[in-house]
Amino acid sequence: MTTLPTMFSLYLHIPFCRRKCPYCDFFSTPSGAVPDDYIATLLAELELYRPYFTGTLASIYFGGGTPSLLTARQIDTLLRAIAHHYPLPSDCEITLECNPEQASLAYFQALRAVGVNRLSVGIQSLDDALLRFLGRGHSARQALDTLAFAEKAQFSRLSADVIYGIPLQSETILETTLKALLGVEHISAYHLSIEEATPFGKMQARGRLREVDEEVSVAHFALCDTLLRAAGYDHYEISSFARPEGYSRHNMGYWFDRPYLGLGAGAHAYAVMAEGARRWWNASHLPTYMRQVSEGVLFPESELLTDELRWEEWLMTRLRTRWGLSLSEGAQCFGMPRIARLLADAALFLSSGSLVHADDHLFIPPQHFLTADQTIRGLV
């Protein structure tokens, strides 16, 4: 396996949360702090993959879980070690996902001082009753204070997560939340999905909870799309809205094929190696992950992407964004016959307007993003 010099991204998974939100099916373990031996394991894993990643970092992302359980000292330790291995250009985007429960002016100032330059805040809603329903540990007041602290600490790059499609969430409540967030550079809006293995999933199985009706999903999605676009946001990906220049560079990497190294329990990684494009991932189990790193296990679970998988991935990632896919790029990578077949399969979607063909591009217009999954499945 050889390394290719390139731009790449780094993702660090922090799989700890103070408590589990009843709708969440991300991998995380209950804890009020991040143990130092987990930091040591992340550093050891960084060293393990050093021979496989060269080049410059485009972005670093601390995701979770709850990365704001990290102390500024722990983040400093991690960033110094990363900078020791890789050049960090001055415009390297360094994002930390933050829960309003941990927010304070002093914490945010300390994050700035150690190099974090973007925060992604889990606001979810600015309605206290909905926050309680979602099992969040913060109030609407704390969420607004978080944004104020971030501004005071001079974080100009801010993203807010919002959930729509929540039972009992009226359009007025959603509208009030969105309007209160209009100063923020980037907004990620997600539909609440009820997953089987979660407490919400179990409530649903017992008939005590029901996903919202399709009309509600459509109305909530349309509200996010129209309100935020009217306010000057670019609806540039299914769930993502940004003010000019406010795109998440880290996520853009996922959608446009940039290699990424994922560190931490449950983290995923992707790179094009001598034998082809490879994806690999760590165990979503803390002791197994820690043991594997201590034993020097590389690529614990992995797959080589076949041509078919690469094609599917290319369609799925490109069509998530408003730029869509370039037909000439596709012809170059996958051959002209495949593109001719794609255009034939696209006819139905083109006639309904859920897909548009303009010049060299095929794309899903933002107002049709809600049904993007069906469109993409139809093409794949």
- Note the residues at the interface with ligand SF4 (CB under 6 A): 17, 20-21, 24, 26, 28, 64-66, 99
Nearer to ligand SF4, 64 or 165 (CB): 64
- 20/357 with CB nearer ligand SF4: 20
21 vs 42, beta carbon nearer ligand SF4: 21
User: Strand pairing of 186-191 and 268-273?
Assistant: unpaired
Q: From CA 202, how far away is CA 194, in angstroms rounded?
A: 9
If the CB atoms of residues 24 and 333 are measured against ligand SF4, the closer one turns out to be 24
Task: Name the residue nearer to ligand SF4 (CB basis): 15 or 259.
Answer: 15
Q: CB of 240: closest distance to ligand SF4 in angstroms?
A: 18
Distance CA(165)–CA(181), nearest Å, equals: 18
Residues 43/81, Cβ–Cβ less than 8 Å: yes
Q: 183-202: buried (b, 16+ CB within 10 Å) or exposed (e) per residue?
A: ebbbbbbebbebeeebebbe
Least separation in angstroms between residue 65's CB and ligand SF4 is 5
Give min distance, CB of 192 to ligand SF4, in A: 11
When the beta carbons of 140 and 339 are compared against ligand SF4, the nearer one is: 140
Whether the upstream peptide bond of residue 65 has omega within 30° of 0, thus cis, is yes
Measured from the Cβ of residue 143, the count of other Cβ atoms closer than 10 Å reads 26
The nearest distance, CB 121 to ligand SF4, in angstroms, is 12
The distance of closest approach from Cβ of residue 274 to ligand SF4 in the complex, given in angstroms and rounded to an integer, is 36
In whole angstroms, the minimum distance from the beta carbon of 53 to ligand SF4 comes to 26
Q: Distances from the Cα of 59 to the Cαs of 73, 274, 379, in angstroms?
A: 20, 24, 31
- The residue among 39 and 131 lying less far from ligand SF4, judged by its C-beta, is 131
Task: Work out how close the CB of 163 gets to ligand SF4 at its nearest, in angstroms, rounded to a whole number.
Answer: 10
Q: Which of 66/117 has CB closer to ligand SF4? A: 66
Q: Which residue is nearest to ligand SF4 (CB)?
A: 24
Shortest Å, Cβ 328 to ligand SF4: 40
